[in-house]
Structure 1
Amino acid sequence: MGNGFVSCSFLLVLLITLAPGDVAGGDGNVLRLPSMTAKEDAGESETSDSGMNMGMGMGMGMGMGMGMGMGMEVEGKDPDYKAYFFIKDIQVGKTIPVNFPHLKESDPARNLPRKTRTFPPFTLKALPSLLRYFSISPGSPQALAMEKTLTDCVRERPGEHRACITSVDSLIDFVGGVFGPDVRFEILRTSVATKTSPVLQNYTILEVKEKTSTKSLPCHNLPYPYAVFYCHILIDTTNKMFKVTLRGENGAVVEAVLICHMDTSKWNRNFFAFRQLGVERGTTEACHFVPAYDMAVVLVPK
């Protein structure tokens, strides 16, 4: 099993595992998105704090032939499947059904390079040249996935701090812009399962550790030829973060990250999490495990 939790800070950024290979230099961000201050219109937005409905609830990986992967919302695949929980559900000794897909720890979609790429350009306008650069056929599933990622990265989402991250430098800059300069933070990741079958199974909770900071943000892996993460947090909201150790029926042990969104009042009222939990939006928290291909950033107290 790989190391599920990686710590770093502005002074110790090299502790992050960097992706292998040559990366073009450049200190600027790629597609840094400005923070929006407008409030969502009564929750009618198609998106929510769940991150464009991606990466939630141990979604399934989308293999695109180039290390691409994304979290996909899974509903109705199994009558016992449950993606969302209350905090009270996550207690030592309890057994819960969870879907932890097996992934390769070395998957390039999981690892950020140190520097931001300067070529090829990461823009929707450059999509035709990007497809040629990566030898991808227009109209193919890979091309459509890239187009969706580039479109999602520039789509306005009022009420969020958000950015599409393609390097360690851009992540540091974004975190500093959201939480202030000179903050220290951790990158938390769910470890990959050491056994692949079955994917959906009952897991017994062995240990639960809450992180002390409520300032955190999830980052969802988007489909692209190299690592791209959509990092976001609703303005003026807090999350709770937990590290949870679970053992599956097949003996697989997973060190998982659990995030609890404490304010769901701005989410889409029709979001399926509310149907699963049997609650109305804004009335309680909604918790879910962070998939292995995603990551979460949490501040470390000084």
Structure 2
Amino acid sequence: MASPLLLALILISLAMMPTPNVAESPAESYWKMKLGSETDMPKIVKDALIGSDENAKVMIQKGFFTITKEVESSSMCNTEDHNYSKAFNNTLEDIDPTKHSIFFIESDLIHPGKTFKLNFMKIEDNAKFLPVQVAKSIPFSSKNYPQILEMFSAKPHSTSAVIMEDTIEACEKKAMEFDEMKLCALTLEDMVDYAISYVGQSMSTVSGYVDRKIQDVHTVLNAKKIESDGAMFCHKICYPYAVFYCHKPKETNLYEISMVDLEGKTMNAIGVCHANTAFWAPKHYAFQMLKVKPGTVPICHFLNERSIAFVPK
């Protein structure tokens, strides 16, 4: 179980919160207040909301914030997804390019018929946004690793501990691109405020959500470019509670890609293309996979179901 101190902080914070409408959490109200009810809340964000005070207390009593081995796969994203996300942090181990078309070049979308080996996993990730008061009271820094591990009852060098340390390290790491803006949002309120500060209050959202598990070859039917100049992206990363890695890369294009599998089933995916990769690490996995050099061609990847884009209108 999480430490008694952490549980006490959460319960006290929840007790101080106004009683929300059964169908709407305080975080959801904040979203609507800041962005308007017409701005769609992506499923990955909705799933990270805590409902009423009572529901939150029940989840806490059931060990919702526990990351012991028995519930590791349900309280944090699994190791396969964690390894996939590490491809974006310049690491190569545990990634099999024969199983995943993680990266591709923008010209692949120009002509229909390009095939991709997709791996859209349905990930059991129950991590929720903490109330603002609680999130502010919990350390989130590499300087506090021992305290954080103790707070979440994680043994040093365990799978949970390694994933937590990797997440904090990614949040503290310098942005991939020169002068790129980034933030690890520990609450929905932080994510919304950060999006507004760089995108503006008038925005739409684009999600990589796919309604089923997909692990097979798909062929591109067509690709439609989405007006996305100035878009900001947020990716839910592995942690006991909801943390979104948000960044605003420069010169980025979005595409809605219509695809079909070998059985004739169609789907739509979102492709993100980075036009300027000159500042990416020379040994970045994408360059090794595509056999290209930094800054030579636009490099793309699919927006997975744990990712969203805030796009200015």
Short-chain TM bin: 0.5 to 0.7
Letter of the structure 1 residue corresponding to residue 231 of structure 2: S
**Aligned ranges for residues 6-25 of structure 1 at < 5 Å?**
10-12=34-36, 15-16=40-41, 17-18=45-46, 19-21=48-50
CA distance, structure 1, for counterparts of residue 202 and residue 126 of structure 2: 25
Q: How many residues align?
A: 247
CA contact (8 A) 2:35 2:201 kept: no
Q: Distance in 2 between matches of 1:89 and 1:134?
A: 44
Match of 2:179 in 1: 159
What are the equivalent positions in structure 2 for 1:18-33 lying under 5 Å apart?
18=46, 19-21=48-50
The structural deviation recorded for 1:225 is 0.7
Moved over 6 A (4+): none
TM-score, scaled relative to structure 1? 0.68
Q: 1:65 to 1:141 in 2, by over 3 A?
A: farther
Question: By how many angstroms is 1:112 displaced?
Answer: 5.0
CA positional deviation for 1:81: 4.9
Give the AA of the match of 2:76.
G
- State the Cα distance separating 1:119 from its structure 2 match: 4.1
Alignment of 1:34-73 (within 5 A): 64-68=73-77, 69-70=81-82, 71-73=85-87
Further displaced range: 146-155 or 255-264:
146-155
Give the letter for the 2:168 counterpart: L
Cα distance per residue 1:245-288 (max 9 Å; x no partner):
32323555443221110111111223232344343321221111
Which runs of 5 or more structure 1 residues have no equivalent in the other structure? Answer: 1-6, 25-62
Alignment deviations for residues 166-197 of structure 1 (CA, whole Å, 9 cap, x no partner):
22211122123334xx432233222235245x
Aligned to 1:175: 195
Q: Which one scores higher on RCO, CA 8 angstroms, separation ≥ 6?
A: 1
Change in Cα spacing, 1:195 to 1:178, as seen in structure 2 (3 Å) is closer
2:61 maps to which residue?
none
Partner SS for 2:161: helix
> Which deviates more from structure 2 when the two are superposed, residues 258-267 or residues 158-167?
158-167
**Change over 3 Å in CA distance of 1:225–1:185 after alignment to 2:** same
3-state SS, counterpart of residue 288 of structure 1: strand
| Kept in 2: contact 1:10–1:184 (CA 8 A) | no
Tell me what 1:210 maps to.
225
Note the aligned Cα RMSD (angstroms): 3.3
**2:138 matched to which residue of 1?**
120
User: Which amino acid is the alignment partner of residue 223 of structure 1?
Assistant: C
Q: Which residue of 2 aligns with 1:131?
A: 149
Q: Which residue of 1 aligns with 2:116?
A: 97
Percent identical: 23
Q: CA deviation at 1:241?
A: 0.7
The answer to which of 14-23 and 135-144 deviates more is 14-23
Distance 1:156 1:288, change over 3 A: closer
Secondary structure, aligned partner of 1:210: strand
| C-alpha distance 126-65 of structure 1, shift in aligned 2 (>3 A) | farther
List per-residue Cα deviations over 1:197-224 (Å, max 9, x = no partner): xx2x210224423211221233233220
User: For 2:136, what is the secondary structure of its paired residue?
Assistant: coil
Matched position secondary structure for 1:94: coil
1:272 matched to 2:285: yes
Whole-Å separation in 1 of the counterparts to 2:137 and 2:295 = 43
Q: Which runs of 5+ in 2 are unaligned?
A: 1-30, 54-71
Distance 2:145 2:184 in 1: 16
Identify the residue that residue 268 of structure 2 maps to in structure 1: 255
Q: Does 1:77 align with 2:77?
A: no
Is 1:285 the equivalent of 2:301? Answer: no
If the length of structure 2 is used for normalisation, what is the TM-score? 0.66
Partner Cα separation in structure 2 for residue 278 and residue 147 of structure 1: 31
More deviation, 222-231/289-298: 289-298
Give 1:133 shift. Answer: 3.2
The amino acid across from 2:120 in the alignment is P
Write 1 or 2 for the structure with the bigger share of helix.
Answer: 2
CA pair 130-165 structure 1, distance change in 2 beyond 3 A: same
